[in-house]
Structure 1
Amino acid sequence: MPPVLPYPVFIDSHVIGGFGRGSSDLGIPTANIPPSDFLASGIPKGQTGIYFGFAKISGTYGTLVRHPSPEDDASKPPSTEIVQTEKPILPADGVVLPMVMSVGWNPFYGNSEPSAEVHIVHKFVDQFYGADIKLAVLGYIRPEKNFESVDALIEEIMTDIRKSKEYLAEDGFKLIESSEFFK
């Protein structure tokens, strides 16, 4: 089954610092992209939730430095700066990989600003802040929602990852994996 309009949606962006909760709180690292890149992509406006597709990182990356916020407001991402060390993405990490992406307000955490957080289904050697990222968004899994606990949130994310892998195994989606966009 191939993607259904408005998909596929292609996004060419870069990895920015986020809240830092994906790795630390959930054990599910995410690559954040500027929400404006997602909003300008052609995805239906206002449709927050969980999406699936493919991702590829490339270029060079650096280290993220977090600066203490004078407001210390947990609903806003901390001030960050990427210190470029010009490390190249390793060949094993720079391939087209399955992904799930959360777009919205993260009700469990009560964000006051929207975010676009991509979990790439792969064990990376290092974090890759500042790297280029290409996303082929191929469909919508579910709307965002609140959870009773961190464990319930993690369980739902694992279900989203499983569904993404199942969808992406279908022939129509596999064609996108080798598309010109990722070359």
Structure 2
Amino acid sequence: MQIIRQYAAVPAPLQGGVFALGNFDGVHLGHQRVIGEAARVARELGVPLGVLVFEPHPKQFFFPNEPFFRLTPFRAKARLLESLGVDVLAALPFDADMSKKLAPEFVMDVLVNGLRTAHVVAGYDFRFGKARAGDASVLSYMGEMEGFGVSIVPEATLDGETISSTRIRDLLGKGDPKGAARLLGHWWTIETHVRSGDQRGRTIGFPTANLALEDYVQPAFGVYAVRIEFEDGPHKGVYDGVANLGRRPTFDKEDVLLEVHIFDFAGDIYGNHAAVSFIGFLRPEQKFSGLDALKEQIAKDSARAREILATTPA
């Protein structure tokens, strides 16, 4: 998959494709339907399949001081899109100039003269242009006027429930990673680098890989059954584990940290890139009277996590 950052100088081989339009935060089942329809049209026309997103997310541009909300920051989103067979990802900067473009200007500048799209696909609630004034009807009208095709995908539901990034964030905030995965179509995963910690876990027999949340949405604090994957290096592979996400009240810490104890594992992984998938929620984070009580609970959590992971497909 090729990534382009500017719409004004798109290489000729990447022009004339079919582009799915949206933020696609989470790349959930609803998003996958939009991209799937774009893929169908691209195959029919024999042209590249593209996805257009903005980086940073427009919400981050307009409300920079609000808490992190993203289900999939750029790297994670790109990986998921590539797995869906996307040929080109147009990750366009959302800046002051882009925020001021009227809906017709966005269509002409980006879709017509920049990407030279043959066809675009968007969800029923797609909005674009200054003040989000452009909608599906505006896009369809502009497509008819300028000679490119437009497909609008209706609302996606699962068992009567609307599939949305907002609903998935809500489920994660309530400690329901399985419910979130049901709407995502994949496990919710944090991708970041293993950093050095205080190595306290080694002293009680449960060494941990320490990872920061960075700009991911903050799920419920507590203990989870997880899988951790290393994409390269000597420890490349997927491992089962148990993780605590939170502020570690037993040690009076304030920063939020994800600590993963990897089962049956030994090795130096500091600095490695890791992807941690949240499989099951075991219990809320709690404060213990001392290290012995904490050690006893971690042993119980580990046993329960092993049980969950043994019966949960990858």
Same fold? TM cut 0.5: yes
Taking the aligned partners of 1:166 and 1:56, their CA distance within structure 2 comes to: 19
Residues 1:31 and 2:205 are matched in the alignment: no
Specify the code of the residue in structure 1 equivalent to 2:244: S
Name the SS for the 2:244 alignment partner: strand
Report the equivalent of 1:137.
278
1:161 Cα deviation from its structure 2 partner: 0.7
Report the equivalent of 1:168.
309
CA contact (8 A) 2:227 2:240 kept: yes
- Runs of 4+ in structure 1 deviating by more than 4 angstroms, as ranges, are none
Percent of matched pairs sharing the same residue: 30
Name the SS for the 1:19 alignment partner: coil
Report the equivalent of 2:230.
57
Q: Any idea what the Cα deviations from partners look like across 1:11-37, whole Å, max 9, x if unmatched?
A: 2221111222111x3221111111225
Which structure ranks higher in relative contact order (CA pairs < 8 Å, sequence separation ≥ 6)? Answer: 1
Specify the code of the residue in structure 1 equivalent to 2:239: L
Q: Any idea what the Cα deviations from partners look like across 1:25-69, whole Å, max 9, x if unmatched?
A: 3221111111225xx15x63xx1110112112243xxxxxxxxxx
Report the equivalent of 2:260.
118
C-alpha distance 26-58 of structure 1, shift in aligned 2 (>3 A): farther
Residues 1:11 and 2:193 are matched in the alignment: no
In terms of fraction of residues, the more strand-rich structure is 1
Taking the aligned partners of 1:134 and 1:20, their CA distance within structure 2 comes to: 21
Name the SS for the 1:152 alignment partner: helix
What TM-score, normalized by structure 1, do the two folds share? 0.66
Taking the aligned partners of 1:36 and 1:18, their CA distance within structure 2 comes to: 16
Gaps of 5+ in 2: 1-176, 182-186
Aligned residues: 133
C-alpha distance 148-96 of structure 1, shift in aligned 2 (>3 A): same
What TM-score, normalized by structure 2, do the two folds share? 0.40
Taking the aligned partners of 1:53 and 1:17, their CA distance within structure 2 comes to: 20
Report the equivalent of 1:22.
201
Report the equivalent of 1:103.
245
Taking the aligned partners of 1:55 and 1:29, their CA distance within structure 2 comes to: 14
Specify the code of the residue in structure 2 equivalent to 1:112: E
Specify the code of the residue in structure 2 equivalent to 1:31: A
Gaps of 5+ in 1: 60-87, 177-183
Taking the aligned partners of 2:206 and 2:178, their CA distance within structure 1 comes to: 28
Taking the aligned partners of 2:239 and 2:277, their CA distance within structure 1 comes to: 10
- Tell me the C-alpha RMSD between the 2 structures: 1.7
In terms of fraction of residues, the more helix-rich structure is 2
